[in-house]
Amino acid sequence: MKVLITPRSYGKTDPVVFDMLKDAGFEIICNNTGGILKKEQMMEMLRDCEGIIVGVDPLDADVIASAPKLLAISKYGVGVDNIDLAAAEKRGIKVSRTIGANSDAVADYAFTLMLGLARKVLPIDAACRRGDWKKITTLDLNHKTIGIFGLGAIGKLVAKRAQGFDMRILAYDVFWDERYAAEHQIEKSDPDRIFQEADFISLHLPLTPETENFIGQRELSLMKPTAILVNTARGGLIQDDALLNALKENRIYGAGIDAFSEEPPADPSWFALDNVIIGSHCAASTSGAIQNMGRAATENLIRDLSQNH
């Protein structure tokens, strides 16, 4: 049986995952292009495969249709917006995710972005390298208000970290965990209240038709001029052009964006701003998270394929 591995970080810190697949009798095909596979590449490489461990590469209905032997899809991560779940279900293809494997890493990175922006770490570093040793006044996190959109595994860990900064925590989630919220002093809030009151906003929503363009010009206009927006979830949650204009006009204090609608962003003006920290969709890229995701994705694929034979 052939399996396709598309994530570039798979096995990088834990090569035992390749042995796990080989010991299970699988022939491994790897993505050696150095980048995210395009649709045509996916169709070619997946054609004779029964299983796939996939990152953010496209697995739409056309790609799935081009792989008549495909029996199992193992997501290397949790977001499945790149997978046509209806097409997979129609074919009886099992789809799994590595829930919780990278949650701590992403929560840590969300706070890394908040701290970096609030304390202007990059502008201060750049000024010092130019020989400019003046002191720059920045913002506090301690005792501020954080708004969390999406109180799932990662959002909950962000809330726990916020408690360490004695922050007031507002959150919004359509599936509200009343017990967890009560235990961690999290206030249930509607979106507009969060936009208006939060000093820091952290996005941890899935990308769905309901959440696409969740933040646009209207929502940005509600935010404080001292507010910081962080997205370590999915590109498409924010209207990139609206955010870019808000940053150019200093209508908010800053933004930390690890996921764009188009990666990398095509507009070069993003890279000229000093009030944005840009990530390459790398919030989950720690050695520990990569190992956790690799093992979980491998175990999921082996389990699902073994049930079909």
184 has catalytic annotation: no
Give percent helix, percent strand, percent coil of the chain, each to the nearest 5: 40, 15, 45
Contacts of 34-43 with CB under 8 Å at 24 or more apart are 34/8, 35/8, 36/6, 37/6, 39/63, 42/6, 43/67
Catalytic residue among 50, 204, 219, 281: 281
The β-bridge relationship of strands 72-75 and 94-96 is parallel
Catalytic residue among 263, 295, 299, 303: 263
Name the strands in the sheet holding 254-257, side by side, starting at the edge strand that comes first in the sequence: 186-188, 168-172, 145-149, 200-203, 228-231, 254-257, 276-278
User: By the 8 A CB rule, do 95 and 71 touch?
Assistant: no
Is the bond into 264 cis (omega within 30 degrees of 0)?
yes
- Pair of tokens at residue 65: 């249709």
234 has catalytic annotation: yes
Catalytic residue among 97, 204, 219, 234: 234
| C-alpha atoms less than 13 angstroms from C-alpha of 137 in its C-beta half-sphere | 1
Could you give the residue numbers annotated as active site? 234, 263, 281
